[in-house]
Amino acid sequence: MSIWTRIADALSAIGSSVGGFLQSLASRHPTPPERSMAFTIGMIALGAKMAKADGLVTEDEIRAFKRVFQVPDADMAAVARVFNLARQDVAGFETYARQIAKLFEARHEILEDVLDGLFYIAKADNAYHPSEQGFLARVAELFGFSPADFGRIRARHVETPDDDYAILGLPATAAPEDVRARHRELVRAYHPDRHIAEGVPEEMIAIVTGKLQKVNAAYDRIMKGRAS
């Protein structure tokens, strides 16, 4: 059963409160399938709170979900319903963020995946706005990430000075052995199988493989630059 089918089946339990549904999962020890569903619904809900447009889901947002999360056309109705329920929910985004953080330990790699997904949604209109920066920084804080952690995550999506080093979370003065050690650490942390085991649905594994590709590319550029 796909994650989208499980979400469609769960909509009757969600009712009119996405926040209440997430709270019910966060208050116990969910099974791996439930964690996958909470991960997905939580990301959709936070994306809804971040979206500027009122009313229905915009075409840009739909394309972002379909591109990154591999949503079949037949299942977009379930995604759109969660999106709009969250948008109408009186619970604020901080409530959602705290509930998601409760499902995963602070600074967990899976919480990075949520932030990566939100960055993709934020850039759906080919822009990154100050309001989105503030929103994402606050979500990262509630997830237990430091400003430096957030800067590293943002560097995968938004160009910054010394971008390659920022992606690895290192200063531009880092020694070669530190660069190699950090690269090995991130490759282990971002292995797709590890994230699937922790609750990232297979339909969304493009989030993990995308950031692993960026880490590898940044490492290659740094090492080539030092060899020249």
**The total number of structural domains that make up the chain:** 1
Backbone angles phi, psi at 104, to 5 degrees: -130, 145
Residue pLDDT, tens place only, 139-183: 999 999 999 999 999 999 987 756 899 999 999 999 999 999 999
pLDDT score recorded for residue 228 = 60
The contacts of residue 162 (CB under 8 Å, 6+ apart) are 171, 172
Q: What is the pLDDT of residue 137?
A: 96
Residue 116 lies in domain: 3-227
- Does residue 208 contact residue 200 with C-beta atoms inside 8 Å? yes
pLDDT score for 107: 65
**Terminal alpha carbon distance of the chain:** 51
Query: What are the tens digits of pLDDT across the range 45-89?
Result: 898 888 754 445 566 666 676 776 778 888 888 888 888 888 877
Bigger pLDDT: 93 vs 31? 93
Bigger pLDDT: 94 or 24? 94
> Region 14-24: what's the mean pLDDT?
79
pLDDT value at residue 55: 44
> What is the pTM (predicted TM-score) of this model?
0.85
Contact 107, 43 (CB under 8 A): no
pLDDT, position 162: 67
DSSP character string of 69-99:
H---GGGHHHHHHHHHHHHH-SS-HHHHHHH
pLDDT at 12: 76
Express each pLDDT in 104-147 by its tens digit.
876 688 899 999 989 988 887 777 888 889 999 999 999 999 99
pLDDT in tens, 206-222: 888 988 999 999 999 99
pLDDT of residue 86: 82
